[in-house]
Copies of this chain bind each other. A is one copy, B any other.
Amino acid sequence: MVNQVQLGDGSCQSCKSDSSGMGTSGGESSKESSRCSTPVLDSDRSDRLRDKMRKRIESGDHWFSLEFFPPRTTPGAVNLISRFDRMGSGGPLFIDITWHPAGDPGSDKETSSMMIASTAVNYCGLESILHLTCYNQTKDKITAYLAKAKHLGLKNIMALRGDPVGADWEEEEGCFNYAIDLVKHIRSEFDDYFDICVAGYPTGHPEAESYEEDLRHLKEKVDAGANFVITQLFFRAETYLKFLDDCRAVGITCPILPGIFPIQGYQSLRQLVKLSKLEVPEEIMEVIEPIKDNDAAIRNYGIQLAVEMCRVLLQSGKVPGLHFYTLNREVATMEVLRQLGLWVEDPRRPLPWAVSAHPKRKVEDVRPIFWASRPKSYIYRTQEWDEFPNGRWGNSSSPAFGELNDYYLFYLKSKSSKEDLLKMWGEELKNEASVYEVFTSYITAQPNRNGHKVMCLPWNDEPLAQETNLLKDELEKVNRRGVLTINSQPNINGKPSTDPIVGWGPPGGYVFQKAYLEFFTSSENVSALLEVLKKYEPRVNYHIVNVHGRNLTNAPDMQPNAVTWGIFPGREIVQPTIVDPVSFMFWKDEAFALWIEQWAKLYEDESPSRMIIKYIHDNYFLVNLVDNDFPLDNCLWQVIDDMFEQLDASPQSPLHEVSS
């Protein structure tokens, strides 16, 4: 829950780039859209939060930000991360994660404040602020938290005092007593590394001697090194606007972001008011009390109230961005943002894969295609890399992919329960064909024979991507016959970068793809396929590998093959996706392991169902195919057709000479 509703601040990325002339004087500049989601192609990606804010303020482009608190349970964490992905798509300038002193906030637990903030940055690509409270903490402890946050890629700290648990606050020797102590400590120990946010109280801190005294404290915190302020929630626009004027009057010049609290329910409002020691204005209570048992009515009222207040704030011309206390819920905040026109679900993606916000990864713009449906796994496995591929994948002699062990503990976990998975993937498998049926149901989005839709597969925790949907008919056909597809993309010969399905990157560009198909299939099929592939030399590149690492390829050397690229005005070529022969051997381990870890283990040891999955794991091959001739019609379906024809014409024995 909201562990003291503190501050935070919110906004959305800007991509207005500095256009500086060269030589002895400045030049003309082309203004791009001041809002876009293309960090990798913009200097913006490496900007600090304070710079992003500055640019947005200069461009007059309003932003929003979102506050969340850490979950109590592991399933709660899985849900929250999904929520980050969904709410991240609306374009918050940042999110912030509250510090939960009672929840071991600095630990490595999946539910800790630290790990949730790290996940938001690293796996969801969100600019994030980690709250940190200093009350009753030693300097060493705080320094250790900050060092850990830095190591994890966190760049922004909300410096707070925090409240005593169940007692009144007292000054304590050898510990921090005020937020300003924390601000000073961060600046003295970490110099200018962190962007620091502090809390402002529009009606004065409840424990402050006076409103004026509290303003002076805020001024001191800012003078000590804070970069911006997020306010406690308030119920009337004029409360904030007066506070803002008073802050400016005492010389606080940094951004001061209003904290918006959309009322979402009677109980949460009461609890919040109690914690924050705020009073709810008469006129609001008068509306709410009569409908206190009607959650929907209260929420609608809360939305209407928030929208009206936000409009007043924005129209004042004094508010660059709005910060939302979400209470970890989506509906109310998204609705307010939609009504304000701030929620822009931008179909444009910066790159064809989910960009991480870790500062070490800010130049990264090339990844192997294999993890397309498992970007968090890829980020996890590469988190210890010192440098990330940029421009080219390069001749990666041996990319050091991390092990999956820990990963299984958390990030690999399916969002579905074991019960749901069994319904989707079959309580009991009869033979390999039962498995083909599961794949086919997933592709077609039709219910399986027991009436359950197959919403995910071990290799895809989401329904089929829109782009893959373009290939649906062909995919259905081949899966029915045991070509078990787990990744594919159509060929694209220069579609606009703004294309709603295959586009990515800034507007005005063109995107391209080579057709790609990746699937598991039997050794019999591989025998026929190899025969057929001779006809497609050198147009089709293939890599075929079994669980033992037996690898068949016609790639001329160990060089990567670019399969997605984009051409943009005034830029070098971007080629974000490659097929890398070396990485494929690491992916192979992961892809085969998923058969056992996610599917076989649903069934009893020694059960026929388990043995079927194990048989596939032990005997099938993982195949990837690239059609290099992207301007022509994709020939990969013809390759598969030819393979079936070959099989039908002369049934082959299993690929004995191929098995290791």
Query: When chains A and B are docked, how far (Å) is the Cα of A596 from the Cα of B375?
Result: 58
CB-based contact A569/B539 at 8 Å? yes
With A21-B551, A25-B551 already in contact, the answer to whether A392 and B572 are too (CB < 8 A) is yes
Query: When chains A and B are docked, how far (Å) is the Cα of A560 from the Cα of B551?
Result: 40
Can you list, as one digit per residue, whether each of A17-32 has a CB less than 8 Å from chain B (1) or not (0)? Answer: 1111111110111101
Question: Which of B32, B541, B555, B572 meets A575, CB within 8 Å?
Answer: B572
For A140, the chain B residues whose CB sits under 8 A away are none
For A634, the chain B residues whose CB sits under 8 A away are none
Identical copies of this chain, number: 2
Q: How far is the CB of A530 from chain B (nearest CB, A)?
A: 7
Question: Which of B25, B29, B43, B493 meets A550, CB within 8 Å?
Answer: B25
Query: When chains A and B are docked, how far (Å) is the Cα of A107 from the Cα of B43?
Result: 48
Is A565 positioned at the interface, with any CB of B under 8 Å from its CB?
yes
CB-based contact A660/B562 at 8 Å? no
Query: When chains A and B are docked, how far (Å) is the Cα of A391 from the Cα of B565?
Result: 13
Query: When chains A and B are docked, how far (Å) is the Cα of A568 from the Cα of B561?
Result: 8
Question: Which of B392, B510, B628 meets A508, CB within 8 Å?
Answer: B628
CB-based contact A570/B551 at 8 Å? no
Query: When chains A and B are docked, how far (Å) is the Cα of A20 from the Cα of B543?
Result: 12
Query: When chains A and B are docked, how far (Å) is the Cα of A19 from the Cα of B542?
Result: 13
CB-based contact A24/B660 at 8 Å? yes
Is A291 positioned at the interface, with any CB of B under 8 Å from its CB?
no
Query: When chains A and B are docked, how far (Å) is the Cα of A575 from the Cα of B565?
Result: 12
Question: Which of B394, B554, B572 meets A561, CB within 8 Å?
Answer: B572
Query: When chains A and B are docked, how far (Å) is the Cα of A478 from the Cα of B564?
Result: 39
Query: When chains A and B are docked, how far (Å) is the Cα of A552 from the Cα of B24?
Result: 10
Is A631 positioned at the interface, with any CB of B under 8 Å from its CB?
yes
A362-415 with Cβ < 8 A to chain B: 390-394
CB-based contact A553/B21 at 8 Å? yes
CB-based contact B558/A562 at 8 Å? no
Closest B residue to A564 by beta carbon equals B573
Closest B residue to A628 by beta carbon equals B569
Is A129 positioned at the interface, with any CB of B under 8 Å from its CB?
no
Q: How far is the CB of A170 from chain B (nearest CB, A)?
A: 53
Q: How far is the CB of A36 from chain B (nearest CB, A)?
A: 12
Is A4 positioned at the interface, with any CB of B under 8 Å from its CB?
no
How many A residues are at the interface, by size bracket?
Answer: 35 or more
Is A556 positioned at the interface, with any CB of B under 8 Å from its CB?
yes
Q: How far is the CB of A533 from chain B (nearest CB, A)?
A: 8
Q: How far is the CB of A147 from chain B (nearest CB, A)?
A: 30
Question: Which of B20, B554, B567 meets A29, CB within 8 Å?
Answer: B554
Segment touching B, from A193-201, A216-224, A272-280, A578-586: A578-586
CB-based contact B25/A556 at 8 Å? no
CB-based contact B569/A494 at 8 Å? no
For A581, the chain B residues whose CB sits under 8 A away are 22
Is A240 positioned at the interface, with any CB of B under 8 Å from its CB?
no
Closest B residue to A546 by beta carbon equals B23
Closest B residue to A22 by beta carbon equals B551
CB-based contact B24/A548 at 8 Å? yes
Is A656 positioned at the interface, with any CB of B under 8 Å from its CB?
no
Question: Which of B390, B550, B559 meets A571, CB within 8 Å?
Answer: B559
Q: How far is the CB of A125 from chain B (nearest CB, A)?
A: 22
Is A557 positioned at the interface, with any CB of B under 8 Å from its CB?
yes
For A541, the chain B residues whose CB sits under 8 A away are 569-570
Is A604 positioned at the interface, with any CB of B under 8 Å from its CB?
no
For A538, the chain B residues whose CB sits under 8 A away are 30, 32, 508, 569-570
Can you list, as one digit per residue, whether each of A595-632 has a CB less than 8 Å from chain B (1) or not (0)? Answer: 00000000000000000000000000000001011110
Q: How far is the CB of A13 from chain B (nearest CB, A)?
A: 16
Closest B residue to A15 by beta carbon equals B556
Is A545 positioned at the interface, with any CB of B under 8 Å from its CB?
yes
For A550, the chain B residues whose CB sits under 8 A away are 23-25
Closest B residue to A581 by beta carbon equals B22
Closest B residue to A584 by beta carbon equals B22
For A29, the chain B residues whose CB sits under 8 A away are 554, 556
Is A549 positioned at the interface, with any CB of B under 8 Å from its CB?
yes
Question: Which of B17, B553, B582 meets A28, CB within 8 Å?
Answer: B553
Query: When chains A and B are docked, how far (Å) is the Cα of A517 from the Cα of B578?
Result: 33
CB-based contact B20/A567 at 8 Å? no
For A585, the chain B residues whose CB sits under 8 A away are 22-23
Is A537 positioned at the interface, with any CB of B under 8 Å from its CB?
yes
Is A425 positioned at the interface, with any CB of B under 8 Å from its CB?
no
Interface centre among A18, A20, A512, A556 (most CB of B within 10 A): A556
CB-based contact B557/A562 at 8 Å? no
Q: How far is the CB of A49 from chain B (nearest CB, A)?
A: 20
Query: When chains A and B are docked, how far (Å) is the Cα of A562 from the Cα of B570?
Result: 7
CB-based contact B19/A556 at 8 Å? yes
CB-based contact B582/A571 at 8 Å? no
Q: How far is the CB of A572 from chain B (nearest CB, A)?
A: 5
Query: When chains A and B are docked, how far (Å) is the Cα of A164 from the Cα of B25?
Result: 65
Question: Which of B19, B545, B554 meets A19, CB within 8 Å?
Answer: B554
Query: When chains A and B are docked, how far (Å) is the Cα of A463 from the Cα of B24?
Result: 35
CB-based contact A571/B561 at 8 Å? yes
For A558, the chain B residues whose CB sits under 8 A away are 20, 22
Query: When chains A and B are docked, how far (Å) is the Cα of A545 from the Cα of B22?
Result: 9
Closest B residue to A29 by beta carbon equals B554
Q: How far is the CB of A565 from chain B (nearest CB, A)?
A: 5
CB-based contact B567/A512 at 8 Å? yes
For A568, the chain B residues whose CB sits under 8 A away are 628
With A512-B567, A572-B578, A573-B565 already in contact, the answer to whether A552 and B392 are too (CB < 8 A) is no
Q: Provide a sorted-by-A list of 10 A–B residue pairs whose CB atoms are within 8 angstroms.
A: A17-B557, A18-B557, A19-B555, A28-B530, A29-B556, A30-B555, A538-B569, A541-B570, A559-B570, A562-B571
Q: Which 4 A-B pairs have the closest CB atoms?
A: A391-B392, A23-B551, A569-B628, A23-B549
Given contacts A27-B552, A390-B392, A562-B572, 13 further A-B contacts (CB under 8 A): A18-B557, A19-B557, A20-B557, A20-B558, A21-B552, A22-B553, A22-B582, A30-B556, A391-B394, A392-B572, A539-B569, A560-B572, A561-B572
